[in-house]
Amino acid sequence: MGNLSSATEFCLLGFHGSQEVHHILFATFFFFYSVTLMGNTVIIVIVCVDKRLQSPMYFFLGHLSFLEILITTIIVPMMLQGLLVPGLQTIILTACVTQLFLYLSVGTTEFVLMAVMAVDRYVAVCNPLRYNIIMNSHTCTWLVIVSWVFGFLSEIWPVYATFQFTYCKSNVVDHFFCERGQLLKLSCDDTLLTEFILFLMAVFIIIGSLIPTIVSYTYIISTILKIPSASGRRKAFSTCASHFTFVVIGYGSCLFLYVKPKQTQAAEYNKIVSLLVSVVTPFLNPFIFTLRNDKVKEALREGVKRCCQFLKV
């Protein structure tokens, strides 16, 4: 592609390799995407219909599952299309801006919500007698609303700043979606200051939401260790284990992707970490929150029994 002074569309390079490799990747990612949609949808449904799961913990889990569906749907369908169709995949500027904005906004919302879930677990373990008073339905609703509003408002300027540059080097993005770092590589302007500001914003959002999580789990672990019986400690820790596992995976991958001074990292590095964020983590979410949660497993078993009884009738 020739040099463009003002790109109106971009070409996504996607994954390297032969068409056979692309077909294998398509089958793999399609399986991951299908399981992600089904698993997270099941969690949302059982949280809504099962009375035993009508608590703040599962209310937040339902929203987290919805966010996981969104973040993988923003990326994966277009990625699958690129794997099936030979050649470069074209995306118009408006679609590129929209995809990047939604991806970053949903991701930021998820970070805030994970911090909210950590505080919820802190109140449940460290202040159980006041839990229902502190984490009432009004408070939970407002915490979710704030998470969504902050997530979407905080990414307006970063996306706007990304597309203010002149893309004159090329319009070929070495990625499977409109990833910010690879877009900045195509600019012939000086992006150093903007990249540093984006780095500071990433630090504020990711580290800022990680701090209440770390503080909450410090108090949680301290409280659990003071419980005299081993069964009591296991029961208390089991209410936090799923969320803690998800936090480690989610924050670990995003720290490598976004908290770095230079956004224009190597393309292959960005692709691998982006796959962790947009494909692997949403895929693991249903397993993390069902296999380690007795209430969810019980609700699932009863749901399956009801479905079988309905089909027999």
Query: Taking residues 93-117, what's their average pLDDT?
Result: 92
Give the whole-angstrom CA distance, residue 61 versus residue 113. Answer: 9
- Asked if residue 278 has pLDDT above 50, the reply is yes
207 located within any domain:
yes
* 185 Cβ contact partners less than 8 Å away, ≥ 6 residues apart: 169, 174, 264
33 vs 287, more confident: 33
Angle at 263 between CA 4 and CA 195, to 5 degrees: 85
Percentage of the chain modeled with pLDDT above 70: 87
- Domain containing residue 140: 9-160+167-312
pLDDT digits (tens, 9 = 90+) for 245-254: 777 777 776 6
- pLDDT for residue 301: 75
Segment 2-9 shows an average pLDDT of 56
Asked if residue 67 belongs to a domain, the reply is yes
Instruction: Confirm whether 228 is domain-assigned.
Output: yes
pLDDT at 313: 56
- Residue 221 pLDDT greater than 90, yes or no: no
Residue 297 sits in a domain whose CATH number is 1.20.1070.10
Residue 294 within any structural domain of the chain: yes
pLDDT digits (tens, 9 = 90+) for 136-148: 999 999 999 999 9
Residue 62 predicted with pLDDT over 70: yes
Would 142 be classed as within a structural domain? Answer: yes
pLDDT in the model for residue 40: 92
Cα-Cα end-to-end distance for the chain: 62
User: How far from chain centre, in Å, is Cα 235?
Assistant: 28
Give the chain's domain count: 1
Q: pLDDT tens across 109-119, in order?
A: 999 998 999 89
Q: Determine the pLDDT at residue 1.
A: 40
pLDDT of residue 116: 93
Kindly state whether residue 2 falls inside one of the protein's structural domains.
Answer: no
* pLDDT of 155 over the 90 cut: yes
Would 4 be classed as within a structural domain?
Answer: no
Query: Average pLDDT over the chain, rounded to whole?
Result: 83
Q: What six digits make up the tokens of 226?
A: 């003071």
Please tell me the pTM assigned to this model. Answer: 0.86
Q: What was the pLDDT predicted at 2?
A: 41
